[in-house]
A and B are shown apart, each in its own frame.
Chain A
Amino acid sequence: MDRDLNLGEMIITRLINIAGYSAIIFVGMIFYFLLREGLPTLNEVNFGNLVSNRWYPIEAYFGILPLLGGSLVITIGATLIAVPFGIGTAVYLAEIAPRWVREILKPLVEVLAGLPSVVLGFLGMLVLAPFLRKYLQLPTGLTAFTGSLLLGGMAIPTVVSVAEDAIDAVPKSYRDASLAIGATKWQTIWRVTLPAAKSGVTTAIMLGVGRAIGETMTVMMVSGNAPVLPGGIRALFKPARTMTATIAAEMGEVATGSVHYHVLFFIGMVLFLISLLINITASFVVFRQRQRQERILS
């Protein structure tokens, strides 16, 4: 074989290998830069301050608990919306909807995934918030609940697509066996299909939660931006402020290398670690399931 061909093949193979490894490199680089800019926080801010419940950077109060709390409340709210609607829609699409309905609905769910978060935040501010203020008789419509509603909607496509894949992957023979012994389609869905797709559905929920925690623009625009530690269920109907929104709102104003700057990177680091935890757990659920399936099939 001629040399050129060999050389060309070798170069292209190298390049493809590098591209393949790039994902690992990027995750490593992202973590490195967050650490590099975020870790100085631990020297500059004493720990008591960091875990206090007061976030007021101008006076050097860097308590991140209110922000963690805000993220938590809004994410829980969003999950309570995204999970039933996401899984309900997934079951409907995978098991019940006629083909033509499916062909129309699936691209629409994808449209939701593609709607820019700033557009939803914008509408949330102008339409949803005034509506909620009026009908729930709140002093302001910009509350954690408003954020939860929108974030729940935004997490739905993630939940739907992952859960639908999982339900779709359940072998038809399982369903046939259940129907053959006289179960209705409805019973089959709940007693056979969903349990068989359990790990995929779990993954779907986790990824949906991850999506909600990480959402930034919408939540910044509609949640009222009050860094107050939430106490009790009523916090849902008060303004709140998430970790993501804090970074987005304040990073533009701080001086590079200042304490405030480092603290914002520190919060980014915390967010990164949370998403890492969620996604690694989710992917192990997926891998375990795949291995089990392979064992059954071979």
Chain B
Amino acid sequence: MNKNNQKITIQNLILHYSDGTESLQDISLDIPAHAITVIFGPAGGGKSSLLRVLNRLNDLVDVVKLEGEVYLDDLDVLSPKTDVIALRRRVGMVFARPVVLPMSIQENITYGLEIAGIKDDQRLEDSLEKAALWEEVKDRLDDPAVTLSGGQQQRLCLARVLALEPEVILLDEPTSGLDPISTGKVEESLQALKEDYTIVLVPHSVQQAARTADYAAFFLQGKLIEYAPGNLLFTNPQDQRTQDYVEGRFG
């Protein structure tokens, strides 16, 4: 891996929740820019937790223990002095269920911009364009966002993130509720987006992981088992557990 090309550096990250559910145990991982890095593994392995640490959404829940270091370029992500608001604008997130805010399609996009104090009308169209939604909604921007179909809603969520022109996009099983056609559209968008962004994806299946991964990290019970370029990891896994999981023997 090209060391100069790293976007996110994670070193010895340890995380425990107060209710003892998921945890992360001593994770070290470098995530490269301009590529899709896939974090996959069985449920409860700590994938979502890792994602939420990267833009400090874990602040919203009770974490009893958080150690180690996470850097976004030179920014110390976990430092209490870090401006989390600015961080979250640089690191956008798309969630498993499409959550559109209870407002119009346009307002869903401009909400984050307004809060950031950005007035830039072009971004509305650009972001919807990049999320492959513009053609479908350009004539009905003032409709409530809930009137969109599930697939459209998820692309709207992606556009909402893109409008803030982040550097990193985190996606937590973004297609889990979608039909195959919508899923295809989202995956296509991601392939196009990786030119400009660093993408970290928790896929909803091994197949999706294999389809999309430039790099893939296999997580099991809070541990990073194996991390390699996608074409290597899925064709020639080094660890027995990775092989078992990829071949569908558990999970």
Chain A residues with CB under 8 Å of chain B are 1
Kindly list chain B residues whose C-beta atoms are within 8 Å of the C-beta of A1. Answer: 83, 85-86
Closest to B83 in A: A1
**CB of A4, distance to nearest CB on chain B (Å):** 11
* Count of B interface residues, CB-CB < 8 Å: 3
**CB of A6, distance to nearest CB on chain B (Å):** 9
**CB of B117, distance to nearest CB on chain A (Å):** 8
Interface string of B75-108 (1 = CB under 8 A from A): 0000000010110000000000000000000000
Kindly list chain A residues whose C-beta atoms are within 8 Å of the C-beta of B83. Answer: 1
Residue pairs across A and B with CB atoms within 8 Å: the count is 3
Q: How far is the CA of A1 from the CA of B85 in the complex (A)?
A: 7
Q: How far is the CA of A1 from the CA of B83 in the complex (A)?
A: 7
Q: How far is the CA of A124 from the CA of B85 in the complex (A)?
A: 62
Q: How far is the CA of A16 from the CA of B85 in the complex (A)?
A: 21
Q: How far is the CA of A1 from the CA of B90 in the complex (A)?
A: 13
Q: How far is the CA of A1 from the CA of B86 in the complex (A)?
A: 7
Top 3 nearest A-B pairs (CB, nearest first) are: A1-B83, A1-B85, A1-B86
Q: 3 A-B residue contacts at CB 8 Å?
A: A1-B83, A1-B85, A1-B86
Closest to A5 in B: B85
Kindly list chain A residues whose C-beta atoms are within 8 Å of the C-beta of B85. Answer: 1
**CB of A193, distance to nearest CB on chain B (Å):** 31
**CB of B79, distance to nearest CB on chain A (Å):** 15
Closest to B115 in A: A5
**CB of A7, distance to nearest CB on chain B (Å):** 14
Q: How far is the CA of A104 from the CA of B71 in the complex (A)?
A: 60
Closest to A298 in B: B19
Closest to A9 in B: B85
**CB of B161, distance to nearest CB on chain A (Å):** 19
Closest to B86 in A: A1
Interface string of B195-209 (1 = CB under 8 A from A): 000000000000000
Closest to B85 in A: A1
Q: How far is the CA of A93 from the CA of B174 in the complex (A)?
A: 43
**CB of B33, distance to nearest CB on chain A (Å):** 25
**CB of B77, distance to nearest CB on chain A (Å):** 16
**CB of B181, distance to nearest CB on chain A (Å):** 37
Q: How far is the CA of A131 from the CA of B83 in the complex (A)?
A: 74
**CB of A35, distance to nearest CB on chain B (Å):** 40
Q: How far is the CA of A176 from the CA of B86 in the complex (A)?
A: 52
**CB of B19, distance to nearest CB on chain A (Å):** 9
**CB of A185, distance to nearest CB on chain B (Å):** 37
Q: How far is the CA of A1 from the CA of B81 in the complex (A)?
A: 11
Closest to B84 in A: A1
**CB of A69, distance to nearest CB on chain B (Å):** 53
**CB of A5, distance to nearest CB on chain B (Å):** 8
Kindly list chain A residues whose C-beta atoms are within 8 Å of the C-beta of B86. Answer: 1
Q: How far is the CA of A223 from the CA of B133 in the complex (A)?
A: 72
**CB of B50, distance to nearest CB on chain A (Å):** 24
**CB of A204, distance to nearest CB on chain B (Å):** 32
Closest to A2 in B: B117
**CB of A257, distance to nearest CB on chain B (Å):** 53
Q: How far is the CA of A1 from the CA of B82 in the complex (A)?
A: 10
**CB of B82, distance to nearest CB on chain A (Å):** 11
**CB of A129, distance to nearest CB on chain B (Å):** 54
Q: How far is the CA of A168 from the CA of B83 in the complex (A)?
A: 45
**CB of B29, distance to nearest CB on chain A (Å):** 28
**CB of A49, distance to nearest CB on chain B (Å):** 58
Q: How far is the CA of A295 from the CA of B83 in the complex (A)?
A: 38
Q: How far is the CA of A1 from the CA of B84 in the complex (A)?
A: 9
Closest to B117 in A: A2
Q: How far is the CA of A6 from the CA of B2 in the complex (A)?
A: 39
Q: How far is the CA of A266 from the CA of B83 in the complex (A)?
A: 56
